[in-house]
Structure 1
Amino acid sequence: MPATTPALTQQPHILVVDDDADMLRLLSIRLTAAGYRVTSVGSAEAALAQLDMERPQLVLSDVRLPGKDGLALFDTVRLRHPSLPVILLTAHGTIPDAVEATARGVFSYLTKPFDGKELLDKIAQALALAAPALPSAHTDEAWRSEIVSRSARMSEVLAEARMVAQSDASVLLRGDSGAGKELLARAIHKASPRTKKPFVAVNCGAIPENLLESELFGHMKGAFTDAHSNHKGLFQAADGGTLLLDEIGDMPPALQVKLLRVLQERAVRPLGSSQSIPVDVRIISATHRDLDAAMAAGQFREDLYYRLNVVTLTLPTLGERREDIPLLANHFLQRLSSKYGKRLSGFAPEALKALAGASWPGNVRQLYNVVEQVCALSTTPLVPLALVQRALRAPQVEVLSYADAKQRFERDYLVGLLKLTDGNVADAARLADRNRTEFYRLLQKHSLTPGAFKAEGVAAPADPVAPGRHA
């Protein structure tokens, strides 16, 4: 974290507490020169009186003070303003007390004589963790409103995305799972001339191979068993707009050939049709796989790769944009608190610190799951460190409502029976101990077509209960 003038619309306010007038003057000069607004007081009692008049963004206090000491000041600040970060300055003899205070929630401590750069770095870190999301400085930033970020890495990616959005060039989004590729694709669509037309996303790895062709290109009535009506594919649904082919690296080789033909001819031919239908679609594809390695292994077509990869944008992992973790955590907490009927004001400083320092192999999606867990379990307005530590240790599982979990289980159970019986409804109903009429109702409820599970059929639509994705 650079110790430069903070890039905020207003100067962050720091309350400095020290009974040494020379030290107070030195700290005030250094912090003012670094771009902070400073209020200086000589005692804990004066600091508490100042806090009653105006709440700063950070308190910087010496441990040894006349009357109430710095540790007692911290305890009172914590009681009145739980989310306000406190940094303590300590002489050698009071280091054990400062260490104990850190365990109790003090953001950090520095020993005297302290290094000026280290002090500014600690202050910048504390303010970054405590600061709310910054308001946009421009009125035309609605296109990326779903992407919560203040990091330089993401700013570079967004600047490139904004530029490429103005053209119709195909874009390949690279990045680890959970990094926010779909959100970036939506942002590109919103910034493009196609913004008023549909944005359609399909996960190529989540749909069975024998279904994916029908889903992408559509089918005609009678094209296969149980095709009782014409079905528009996703290319037609996205006509005039943008189609996101998510996890394109998982697309079966046979379908890659057909996709390439559609991109070359700018027309689709539904299954069972003898005529092609012109489509005007901007393609964005996304993958977490190494497509170069996939091409070398013969798993991905080189001609399709170059058709899709006109412009490449690579999303950083969450670990590469750690300054965004507090913003994202508070953003998710605000969204989820209403879902769970909770009044949550934020995270305790040490809880945010733990989140910022954690490993995030699942990226933003994993952070969302952690925040959802603590939101569901929190019993206090301020999420404590212990709850965050518990969520970080626990295996990251999806949190579904009971109704959604029941629906998902029911659908998966039906799909398993149909696969086992090769689409034979009578056999499947018998195994489920249900009569055929009731079994057909269940299939209709989940949009499952028995013929899709026969050897040469086309499978049913993807799971409608699949969870949403996050950035």
Structure 2
Amino acid sequence: MKVLVAEDDASLREGISDVLSELAEVHSAGSVDAALALLQQERFELVLTDLRLAGTGKGGRSILEAARRRLQAVAIVSAATPEDLQRALEPLEADAILAKPFQLEDMIALVERFLALRGDLERLSKAWPPESGWTEVAAGAHLQQVQSPEPEEDATWIRLQPGTSYAWTHHSGRAGVLVVEGALEVEGERQPAPRYLFLSRGQPPTMRTEQGCLVLSLALRG
């Protein structure tokens, strides 16, 4: 799993990267431009970025916009008040906020939450869905709830027939999505299996598949 850390304070960036390296493969960027370049080259389970960041564009907001287009989760690090942060990002919304000054334990817990989402999807995807129990919610689109011993897990299998378009509305909040088989087209970009995506709150994109696909979706806890 991969995490991107965007921070222009070199000592803070290195410190955060060292701590998080125990949890994931960490890529770091000291400017908006460097972070945007990495977002074009790699996919991340979480992008952790300071709101105020050196480089072209609008600091962390530019990184949020770019990561959102590629369906990757973003946590904003900022000392701004919630009201100022909302004004700086609107109409977008970060997937998580890490308020400065922060404790290392808080940062670790935040990152672990997003990494666990990917890990839980991979674990649940190993138990293939049964052929029975599917509910048709639209032409060519069938859903089935995952039978899990963990009551807090809200996971859903989605099976789309070739040529199907589906408005993603069964998870209205933040959710991880794992393309298990086939390929899914989201916002005009083809996402072949195995591909992990993150849907942010208020972002129910219409998805389409030409060849058909099997997808697993899991709501983010908390």
For residue 24 of structure 2, what is the aligned residue in structure 1?
Answer: 36
Aligned residue runs from structure 1 range 3-82, under 5 A: 12-33=1-22, 35-67=23-55, 68=57, 69-79=59-69, 81-82=70-71
Instruction: Name whichever structure is richer in helix by fraction.
Output: 1
| Alignment pair present for 1:98 and 2:81 | no
Aligned partners of 2:199, 2:161: CA distance in 1, in Å? 15
For residue 146 of structure 1, what is the aligned residue in structure 2?
Answer: 129
Aligned residue runs from structure 1 range 146-165, under 5 A: 146=129
2:117 pairs with 117, 126, 129, which one?
129
**CA 1:347–1:96: 2 relative to 1, 3 Å:** farther
Tell me the CA shift for residue 107 of structure 1.
0.8
Kept in 1, the 8 Å contact 2:67–2:73? The answer is no
Unaligned 5+ segments in structure 2 are: 131-144, 177-185, 189-197, 205-222
| Alignment pair present for 1:110 and 2:93 | no
Kept in 1, the 8 Å contact 2:8–2:31? The answer is yes
Aligned partners of 1:383, 1:344: CA distance in 2, in Å? 13
Aligned residue runs from structure 1 range 354-373, under 5 A: none
CA RMSD of aligned residues (A): 4.0
**CA 1:95–1:14: 2 relative to 1, 3 Å:** same
Tell me the CA shift for residue 117 of structure 1.
1.4
Instruction: Name whichever structure is richer in strand by fraction.
Output: 2
Q: Secondary structure at the match of 1:77?
A: helix
**CA 1:29–1:384: 2 relative to 1, 3 Å:** closer
Q: Deviations over 1:126-147 (max 9, x none)?
A: 23335573268xxxx8xx5438
Aligned residue runs from structure 1 range 415-454, under 5 A: none
| Alignment pair present for 1:351 and 2:169 | no
Aligned partners of 1:73, 1:66: CA distance in 2, in Å? 12
Kept in 2, the 8 Å contact 1:87–1:107? The answer is yes
Kept in 1, the 8 Å contact 2:173–2:202? The answer is no
Q: Deviations over 1:335-386 (max 9, x none)?
A: 2x33992267999995328xxxxxxxxxxxxxxxxxxxxxxxxx96897745
| Alignment pair present for 1:342 and 2:165 | yes
- TM normalised by structure 2 equals 0.60
Q: Secondary structure at the match of 2:165?
A: coil
For residue 238 of structure 1, what is the aligned residue in structure 2?
Answer: none
Unaligned 5+ segments in structure 1 are: 1-11, 148-178, 185-314, 354-378, 389-471
Aligned partners of 1:135, 1:346: CA distance in 2, in Å? 23
Aligned partners of 2:63, 2:78: CA distance in 1, in Å? 14
Kept in 2, the 8 Å contact 1:18–1:24? The answer is yes
> Which amino acid in 1 is paired with 2:50?
D
Tell me the CA shift for residue 121 of structure 1.
1.4
Q: Deviations over 1:43-63 (max 9, x none)?
A: 111011112222222110001
May I ask how many residue pairs the two structures share in their alignment?
170
Aligned partners of 1:348, 1:44: CA distance in 2, in Å? 31
Aligned partners of 2:96, 2:201: CA distance in 1, in Å? 15
Aligned partners of 1:345, 1:339: CA distance in 2, in Å? 17
Aligned residue runs from structure 1 range 349-428, under 5 A: 350-352=173-175, 385-386=201-202
